[in-house]
Structure 1
Amino acid sequence: MGEKSLLFLSVIISCAHPATRNIFVECVYTTYVSRNEPFAESSTSFGINISDNENITSTVSQMTISDISTGHPLTQTPSSDLKRIADDLRKIVFYVEPIVCVAGLILNVMGLIVFVSQHKHDNATNFIKCFLISNICLLVLQFFFFLSYRIKYIYKDSTATDIMKWVLLFSGVFLLYAVRAVTYAMYAVMSVNSFVAIAFPFYMNRFILSQHPKRTTFIIVLINLIVFSFNMFRFQYKAVTNLYTGKVSFIVQYTELASQNMNIFNVYGFVGILVTYLIPIPTTIVFFILTLISLKRSSTSKAVSSNDKLKEVKLNFTRRLTKIFLTVSFVQIVVGFPYMVFLIFAKVDNEFKIGGSKIYVGTILSLIFGTLDNVKHGAFPVLFFAMSSSFRESFCEMYFCKKSVNDRNIQISETSLTFGQ
C-alpha cells in the first residue's frame, strides 16, 4: 500500500471504535515499522500525523522518565501496573472475542432461519428480520477485525495479506459503523414507540415518529453517519519510539485544525459522542426496562390451567433474561461513558503521552465495553425467542403501527403488552 493510501485510510479509521483504532495502528506498525521503512511527515489536518525518525527521537528525548517508565526495567509507576493490566486484558479479549462472535453468529443465524421459516410472507415481522441480520453483520465484521489483527502475527511479509488487511479494515469501518447505527436506531424507535404506547396510548395514532418508523430510522442512521464523517478532523495519531525498548507506540493528539479551534471542536466532540453513544446505549436500557414492564403487566392474572402455568414459567424465564441484558447494558454505561466523556475533553498533557495512565485506563474500559457489546448483540435472539408468539406479533405491530393504521389503537396498550399462546 502506498503512502497516500495509508493517509486516506487514516482519515476514515481515525474516528472509529477504540478497538478498531488499536487494530489499525498495529497494522501500520507491521506494514511500515517492521520493515524498517521510515514514516513520512504528514501535512494534512486529519488522520495520522507521522513524524520521521529524527522527530520521533527528539520527541521522546524531551519526555521525562515517568512518561516512558513502562519501557524502563528499573522504574515502576502506577502507569506500569495499568499497562500490565491492559496487556493482560487485551490477551484475554483476544481469545474470548472470537468465541463470543462465533457463538453469537450461530444463535443469530439459527434464529433468523427459524423466524423466516415461520413468517415467510408476514411483512409485519420485517423489523425483526432486519434486526437479526444487523446483529449478524455486526458479529461478522467484528470477527473480520479479529482476523485482520491476527494476520500480522502469521504472515508478516506477504503483499497479498497486506492487501487483505487493508480491505478488511477499509470495508469494515464503514460497514461496522453503519450497521451499528442501524441497530441502535431500531432500538431508539422501538423504545420511544413502546413508551408512548404504555404512557399515552390515546396519542399513538397521531404520534409523528409512530406514523413513519422506517423514515425515522433512516434519519437517525443518516445523522450518525454525518457525525462519524466529520469526526475525522478532530483527532490524529502520532508515532513515537521508546528509547529503552526501541518499540514504536502511538499517541492521540488533536489535529492542527482542532488545536486552532479548540472550543468549537470540543463542543462538536460532545455532540458527536452524545449522538453516537450517550443516547443510543441508554435507549437499549429503556427498551429492556419497557420489556420488563410489559412482562410485569402480563403476569398480573394468576395461573389456573396448565397452559397458564406454562405461560407463567416462560414469562419468568424471559423476565430473568431481560434483567441480564439490562445489567449488561448498565455495565456498558458505567464502564464506557467515563472514557468517552474523557475523550471529549482530552488534551495532550504529560498524562496523555506514551506510557501515561489515562491511555491504559481508556484501553481497559474500551476493551470491556466492546466485549459486552458483542455479548449483547450475540445473545439477543435468546431473549427474543423466549417471548411468546403473541408478544412478538405485538412487538412488530407496535414498530410498524399496524393498530393505528387499522384504526385499532384504542386497545394498543392492552394488546401490545400481552403475553400469551
Structure 2
Amino acid sequence: LMSYGIYPSPETMDKADLLPVMSFKTRIVLLKDFPKGYSIGYNRTYITDKATRIATIPIGYGDSYGVILSNQGEVLIRGKRVPVIGRVSMDMCTVDVSGIPDCQVGDEVVLMGRQGQESISANEIAGRVGSISYEILCALGKRAPRLFIHKGKADTVLPRLRRIYIPDEERSIDRIDSIIRQCFQTRARSEELGDAIYYEMFETLFGKEDRQLELREDFRYDITVAEVDAGKNGTAARSDDVLNVTTRVSYKKTLKNNAFVIGCAFDNEQLAAFFEDPRCEYRWLMSRGEHLVLERDFRVARVSIDDVDVPIISTEMTSRGYEVWCSHEDLREKLNTQVEVAIEIFTKKSRANNIFSVYVVYPTRGLDISFNYEQTGFRHVREVSFFAGKHPYPEVIREKGKYIRLRAPNHTWVFPNSGVTFVWDT
C-alpha cells in the first residue's frame, strides 16, 4: 500500500513522508439549477433548502463509489470541496456546486487525489464509510480505464475483469470467439476496425471452416530450376517453352492423419479447395499449357515421415485437380506426435511465367527458403518477401548467378499470408 504513497492507517502517518501517486477522477456531464424544496435522487433522501445548482458526474456504485457515501461524500471541483447530495446510483451521482458559480460541463472532478491545495485521501473516504483504505483501493474503478503516466507520457489501459469461475457453457467456441472479437473492438477503439482484424485473423488462421489450427517448425523449402534437356524430353520447341522444377519441402508438425493428399490444382478455385482440406500436405498450382502432360510433368518423387518412405496408394483426377494420396498403416502409431515430413516433387513450369511464389500457410517457427537457378539463363533475379510476424524481415543471402536464400531463426514465428516471390528476367 505504501508503494502507492498511501498510509496503511492514520496511526502510521508520522512514520514516513508519503506522496500518493494514485487518483480517481471523472468530469461533470450535466449542470442544472433546482428551486428550494426539490428532491434529488432515488428515495428523495435529499431536499434542497434553497435554490441549488447541481452537477451530475458519471460515477456510481457500479464503479465502487458506494451508496454509503450518499449525502456524506465529498469531491473536488476547481480546487474546492463540494458535497455529494442525494442517493448515489449505479452509474452517477450528484454534487452541490452552488459555491462554484463558474464551473462548467467538462470540468475535472476528483473523488480521490489532489486538486489545487485540497486533497481527498483513501483513508478519508474509508473513515467516512467505516472501512479501511485497503478495501477502498481494491474496490475503486473496477470498470474505469486506468491512465498510467511514465516520464510525462500517458497510456490508457482498460480494466481486466477477473472471474475465478467460468461456467462450461461460457467456454464454448462461440463464446470464446465473441470475447476475442469484443477485445479487438476495444483495443482498436473501433467496432468496424476490430471486426476487420478479427475476421481477417480468424480466416487466415482457421480458414473459412473451423479447421484445427496446425503449427509447423523448421520449415525448409528448396527450389531448383533448370533448363529442359531437349534430347531427353522431346522436341527443341518444347525445351524452349518449359523449365524443370524440383522442390524439396520439409517441416515438423503434429501428425493428425495417417492418410494424406498432395494436390496439383489448375486454377485458384481448385487451389483454395486444397487449402481448406486438413488432409492436404502440399499444394501446387500448374498452368494447363499445351505441352504439359499431367502424369509426366507433375510427379511426386518421394514422401517420407521421420525419414521412412510413405508409399503412394492412389492417384486420381477430381473436381479440385490432380490428387496423389499417400498412406501407411505404421503411421497410426505416430498419430498425435511430432514428426518430420519431407516431400520431393518433380514438375514443369512455363518459361513465359517468370515468377515463382512460396506461401506460408500455417503458423511456422523457423524458416529456410532457397531458390537455386544456376542451371538456367535467368538474369537479374530478385525476391519480394511479405512476412507477417514480430520480425517481418528475414535474413537474405544471395550469390549472384546461383541462388537466393531467406532464413528466419528457429525462435521466430512467421504467420499465414506470408511468403516470398522470386522474379527474374529471361
Q: Scaled by the length of structure 1, what TM-score is found?
A: 0.22
**Larger helix fraction of residues:** 1
Between the two structures, name the one with larger relative contact order (CA 8 Å, sep ≥ 6).
Answer: 1
The structure whose residues are more often strand, as a share, is: 2
TM-score by length of 2: 0.22
